[in-house]
Amino acid sequence: MTTLDRAGPLPGYFASPWPVECGGNRRQKAALGGLHAGTGKAEVTTRRDARWHVMTIRRGAGEVYLGGTMPAWSGPEPHGWLEKLDPETLEPVAVSPDLPAGGHVWCGAIAAHGNGDIYKVNGCYMHRLDPDCQVVTERRLPVDQAHNGLLILSDGSIVTKDLRLGGQGPSTVTRLTADGLEMIGAPLRLPEGSMGRIASDRNAEGEFIYIPGIEHVWRIRVEPDGMSVDWDWSPGYRVEGGEQGLSWDGCISDGSLWLMDNGDIDSLRAIYGVHPNGRFDAPSNRLSWRRPAPWSGPQRLLKVSLDDGAVQAIAPFGTPGGGIIAPPVHVPEHGMCIAWDSINGGLAGIADEPGGLRVAWTLDARPSMQPVVFPETGELVINDFRDNDDRLIVVDIPTGALIDSVSTGSRLANGMFLTPGGDRDVYYCSTFAVARVRWS
C-alpha cells in the first residue's frame, strides 16, 4: 500500500509511501490498495498520554514518525516534539528533546525529506531532525506567529506560512533551504491573512502554491530565488463580515481546488485572539469545537477552477451555523467529493457532474478530522465523534453505506490527520491519544 499522488512521484521527499500530511502536496489523502474492512475484523492499539498528537508519517520500511506539541494553553511553556514509533505497539523507540515553539500552542507539521531527515514546524520555529529524532538545525522563523503546516517543494526547499484570521493583517509565506534552513528570498507577504494550510502543484507553466485567504484564494508562483503572487488568478470565495466563515486548506484534484468554508470557529478565534497564540492566563472555556458557530451560514463545499477561477458552491446540509476544523477530499476515480459539518453533524458525498455539484448521499456522522481514501476499494476512513467516544468509520464512497465503525479509545476528537499504514491499517492522532486500527 502506498501513496496515490496523481501528479506522479513526489520530488523533494523521501521515497516513502506517506512522507507528508495528506500523502502529498496536492492533499489528495489517497492510498493504493484497501482495508477490505467489510470482510475483516478490526484490532485496535491505543496509547494515551498528556500530549497533543498531530500526525504520523512514514519514512523507510517499518519506520513511523509521530509529531506533535503540548496542549499547554496555560501554565508551563509549550514545546514541540518528535517520536519514532514501533509501528505495532506505538511505543517510542526514539524521542527528540523538547523543541521550542516561541511560546505558541498550535499543531504544526512534520515531513520526511529526500535527504533522509525529518523537518518539523511548530509555533514560530522550524527544526531539522535526523532519523533518531536528534536536532540537526534549529531556526526561529521571521514572523512571531504560529505557523500552519509545511510542504517540501520539488527542489527540496521547505515552505511554511503563519496563520492569521480576519482583521489580523497579512500572512507571510517563508521558504527555506533544506541544508541550513536559510532564507530563500524575502518572506512573501500575502495580500490577506490566511488560516488554511498550503497546497501546491506543478504543471507545464511551473510550480505553484495555493493558499486560501480571508476573502480570496491566492496562487503563488515558485521562482528560483523566491516567490511571487500570481495576480491573474485570485478568485473570491466569501465576503468579509458575511454569513460564512474562513476556509481551511484545499485539495487539488481534477483541475480544481476543493475547499470548505466556516472554519474559524469560536475555539480558533480564542486561540488566535491572544499572543502568543493559544496561551491564556487561566484555563479557557472556549476551546471546544462543539461551541455554536459565530455566523449564520450553512457549511459549504467550494469547487474553484484552477483555469479561470470560477467558483461553484453547494450547502449539502443547509443547517444554519455550520462549522468544520478540517478540509474536504475529492476522489476523481468516483467523481465524488466528501464534505461534512462538524458542529451540527452530517457527512456527505457530493457528485461532481457536468451539470454541477449534487448531493449523492448523506450519512449520520460527526466527523472532524483529515480523512484517508482508498479509491481502489472505494473506502473512506474518517472519524465519528459521539458520546465522548471518537470512532473511526469506514464508508463506501460511491453509496455512503457504512462498512464498519470502530472505537479508537480516544475520548477527544480534533482536526488531526489519519495515515495509511500499509498493512490494512490506519494510524489515528488526537489530543491525549494515538491509535492504530488494523483489519485482519
The tens digit of pLDDT for each residue in 380-402 reads 999 999 999 999 999 999 999 99
Q: Is residue 7 part of a domain?
A: no
What does 51-62 look like in DSSP terms, one character per residue?
Answer: EEEEEEEE-STT
Q: How confident is the model at residue 287 (pLDDT cuts 50, 70, 90)?
A: confident
Q: How far is CA 80 from CA 124, 206, 274, 405, 428, in A?
A: 11, 34, 19, 32, 18
Number of structural domains the chain divides into: 1
Query: What is the distance between the alpha carbons of residues 2 and 121, in angstroms, rounded to a whole number?
Result: 25
Q: Residue 7 pLDDT more than 70? A: no
Each residue's pLDDT tens digit, 368-382 = 999 999 999 999 999
- pLDDT above 50: residue 273: yes
Span 407-416, mean pLDDT?
A: 96
Q: The domain spanning residue 291 has which CATH number?
A: 2.130.10.10
At residue 297, the pLDDT reads 97
In the prediction, which pLDDT does 224 show?
A: 94
Structural domain boundaries, residue 385: 21-439
| Least confident residue range of 5-14, 53-62, 92-101, 319-328 | 5-14
Q: Could you tell me if residue 126 is inside a domain?
A: yes
Per-residue model confidence (pLDDT) at position 5: 60
For the cut 80, the answer to whether the pLDDT of residue 2 exceeds it is no
82 within domain boundaries: yes
Residue 385 lies in a domain: yes
Give the pLDDT band (50/70/90) at residue 227. Answer: very high
Average pLDDT over residues 252-281: 96
Please state the three-class secondary structure of 238-305 as a single string.
CCCCCCCCCCCCCEEECCEEEEECCCCCHHHHHHCCCCCCCCCCCCCCCCCCCCCCCCCCCCCEEEEE
Q: How many Cα atoms occupy the beta-carbon half-sphere of 380 within 13 Å?
A: 32
Element (H, E) at 104: none
Binned at pLDDT 50, 70 and 90, residue 283 comes out as confident
Instruction: Give the whole-angstrom CA distance, residue 339 versus residue 342.
Output: 10
In the predicted model, what is the mean pLDDT of the chain? 96
Cell numbers found for residue 99 = 523543541
Give every CB contact of residue 403 below 8 A, 6+ residues apart in sequence: 37, 38, 379, 393, 394, 395, 396
Answer whether residue 270 is part of any domain: yes
Amino acid sitting at position 77: E
Determine, yes or no, domain membership for 357.
yes
pLDDT in tens, 15-41: 999 999 999 999 999 999 999 999 999
User: Is the pLDDT reported for residue 338 higher than 80?
Assistant: yes
* Domain assignment present for 16: no
Q: Is residue 308 part of a domain?
A: yes
